[in-house]
Structure 1
């Protein structure tokens, strides 16, 4: 297969990401992988949270007007924001694709994030092959089927007393781990959003940013629901050439600080790019870290608090008391931090990208899920893969004990060994002959098979 010029390079793959950090990152990584395999890459993206084209000189970028200026794009209004994106981006995306028809440019397929349905609508209308990228844990997607089954059986809303009960046949999940609240009437617009997210429509295949061995059972269940080829080619950040993907400026000075710390001594703390907590929890986290007496690197994103700068809300006594063994930054180069030998634990929101990044480096976790799929990820991390400690509540004593347990106890050593074993398993999957490596080869051949016609 030619990879630098010729027929294969002229095959264009159009990528349509959802404009949030956890979604943009894997889509750009997928683009880098496919470019390395000989495809030309066009990224069609919203104006909101648009990537910097100068970071990806081998890609072509198309900005889609989204009319989101001044619109509330916080997590609480996420469903409405995505609805606006799907409405406003459909026409300009279709117009550009029609222009490509006129220029007779060969397009292999459109790969779109499952949330931005407008891309699939346009692909279907123009009779173009489309593939959906699922950049989440398959167990999370399977939980949607569980919710719809419970609704069909009129079991939602559930009584509060049922929340901690195990869901029959869906180990290890409890009703409280479901991504939608099971004890209240679920709003219709939320249900419509979830049903839409589960509908792959006319898509030709599903790409998963995961590892088949990790997600085998839920993948089997979903394969019965979606009778199209599945390609589990994750972790994408390990399969892809190293490219910058962060929408926030990373403070690389923290790496030189880590260089001065002992091996496996530092707990890295980050709740991701989207979660919002209240000031009380911020204070509890701060004093929990302080009282654990463990070295820490804490990424305190300014927007972590709703309506105020989280960095400025940290107690002065906390900063003073931990200056010798702690470092607080606004945002960290996470993949480099987790790969650093000084880092021995990760206090995390359990977002799927963060979960995969920690697994790849053999770093055990303290799990504090905040939203959506993170509850299910945390449950799998602590009760299936057993590489993390579940944070039972958000009080400082609980945080202190969890950090100590992970970093300096015998239990923590056992968990760290499991995390190391998982790292070795991931390495086998992404190396030649491994499941992700072979799935990627099959995906490349599949895309080539789709690109036999011109627009």
Structure 2
């Protein structure tokens, strides 16, 4: 019997990481599972804490991590290790207390769902004989490439030589060497990162924010590799009824500006919450946008341009050139922007959340990947799904051409038709009988089965 008695208030402890791209799907997953009758405790770092007032249905547990900012430099692996070490005992103490309090409720065994970066949670769950499930916030297609890195390093193929960048990687079709994650990382740093990844040993299941139709081949490979249930329940952004998950304040004034633009005419530019650029790259981007003659909504995060506070390095004459046609802002309500009828394309870093949001709204993309799984996502968007244009380099003429190809030329219209078709498939996967609907149902059953 699955009845309400079995699942009413069954406790789930979700362990989130302080990265925006990881926190977003974890909060969305919490909202989805709460709507299925589970009680949700969100354990999160003090660094980049979510706003509890946006999620009154959750209990929040703050873990002191002793960091004031994310260290994305060469010390990244040391940062992750310290983050995990600093949070471990606090979570263990909390869960021990919860277990003691709930001893008379035999059906209410706690299940821990943790971000893959927060591998300490799996160790804590194992120590306390609790079941742990991993949430993966990257694309499924990224993982076969990531899992191949030790072999490629051992074969001397990594770091990649310039002469090999365009070559296809054997056994990883359609990826080229340039699409591999960490393709320029020194071997010793890569070894540290892979060792960290292996700290998640034996989850009882894996949740992936994706859809079967989109990544069927990769999901099939991963099911064979991991030999545990894999639940593909994306796109979470379309399943979850939760407010903004953004760490940065969103400028909603841009929506009234979009209201005044022609349908499908605007290029929306946002390179995510971590990417940075130098003054030259800012200049090339600015003049590329100006020369395209298309309306644009351009997100420039404060501090994202090296050496500047915000946009003081914008080239002279740019503001006058684009007056009335362009809007530069600090952060946008992306979900609202991508669903707006005026937006015809999304110039993106191809983080997985942004990729799913664009696919869910039928918006084709210009792909400028920066790190992690983004190069893999860009390759799939441009070469496999054919709803994205790869930006070969950041030069004015290349930028101008890409924007016009996407928004004006016939090539862009064909991409838009494919994007709209994918949007429809994504929508149907969430309906009764669809793959994500069924996968969520299976996840609920799996979580209740202990």
The TM-score by the shorter chain falls in which range? Answer: over 0.9
1:108 and 1:447 in contact (8 A); partners too:
no
CA displacement at 1:23 relative to structure 2: 0.4
Give 1:81's aligned residue.
79
Taking only aligned residues, the RMSD between alpha carbons, in angstroms, comes to: 1.6
2:132 and 2:203 in contact (8 A); partners too:
yes
1:255 aligns to 2:232 (yes or no): no
CA displacement at 1:83 relative to structure 2: 1.5
Q: Which moved more, 1:7-16 or 1:374-383?
A: 7-16
Give 2:208's aligned residue.
208
CA displacement at 1:179 relative to structure 2: 0.6
2:29 and 2:236 in contact (8 A); partners too:
yes
Q: Which segments of 5 or more consecutive residues in structure 2 lack a partner in the other structure?
A: none
1:166 and 1:172 in contact (8 A); partners too:
yes
Matches within 5 A, 1:100-249: 100-104=98-102, 106-181=108-183, 185-188=186-189, 190-198=190-198, 200-249=200-249
* TM-superposition CA deviations, 1:50-78 (whole Å, max 9, x none): 00111111100000011113x66245543
2:144 and 2:172 in contact (8 A); partners too:
no
Q: Output the CA distance in 1 between the equivalents of 2:55 and 2:73.
A: 28
2:7 and 2:38 in contact (8 A); partners too:
yes
Q: Output the CA distance in 2 between the equivalents of 1:425 and 1:199.
A: 36
Q: Which moved more, 1:74-83 or 1:368-377?
A: 74-83
1:75 and 1:274 in contact (8 A); partners too:
no
CA displacement at 1:153 relative to structure 2: 3.2
Q: Output the CA distance in 2 between the equivalents of 1:73 and 1:20.
A: 11
Q: Which segments of 5 or more consecutive residues in structure 1 lack a partner in the other structure?
A: 451-455
CA displacement at 1:316 relative to structure 2: 4.3
Matches within 5 A, 1:363-374: 363-374=363-374
1:108 and 1:448 in contact (8 A); partners too:
no
Q: Which moved more, 1:114-123 or 1:147-156?
A: 147-156
CA displacement at 1:7 relative to structure 2: 4.8
Secondary structure of the residue aligned to 2:167 is: coil
Q: Output the CA distance in 1 between the equivalents of 2:356 and 2:70.
A: 29
Q: Which moved more, 1:105-114 or 1:260-269?
A: 105-114
Give 1:391's aligned residue.
391
Q: Output the CA distance in 1 between the equivalents of 2:6 and 2:375.
A: 45
Q: Output the CA distance in 1 between the equivalents of 2:186 and 2:137.
A: 28
Q: Which moved more, 1:313-322 or 1:79-88?
A: 313-322
Give 1:21's aligned residue.
20
Q: Structure 1 residues 349, 76: closer, same or farther in 2, change over 3 A? A: farther
Secondary structure of the residue aligned to 2:214 is: coil
* TM-superposition CA deviations, 1:146-188 (whole Å, max 9, x none): 2222233343345331121111232210011111125x64224
Q: Output the CA distance in 1 between the equivalents of 2:281 and 2:154.
A: 37
Secondary structure of the residue aligned to 1:164 is: coil
CA displacement at 1:278 relative to structure 2: 1.3
Secondary structure of the residue aligned to 1:43 is: strand
CA displacement at 1:199 relative to structure 2: 5.3
Q: Output the CA distance in 2 between the equivalents of 1:97 and 1:154.
A: 44
Q: Output the CA distance in 1 between the equivalents of 2:309 and 2:127.
A: 45
CA displacement at 1:321 relative to structure 2: 1.5
1:318 aligns to 2:318 (yes or no): yes
Q: Which moved more, 1:197-206 or 1:43-52?
A: 197-206
Query: Structure 2-normalised TM-score?
Result: 0.95
Give 1:351's aligned residue.
351
CA displacement at 1:198 relative to structure 2: 4.8
2:20 and 2:247 in contact (8 A); partners too:
yes
* TM-superposition CA deviations, 1:181-235 (whole Å, max 9, x none): 25x64224x3232343255412100000001121111222221220100000001
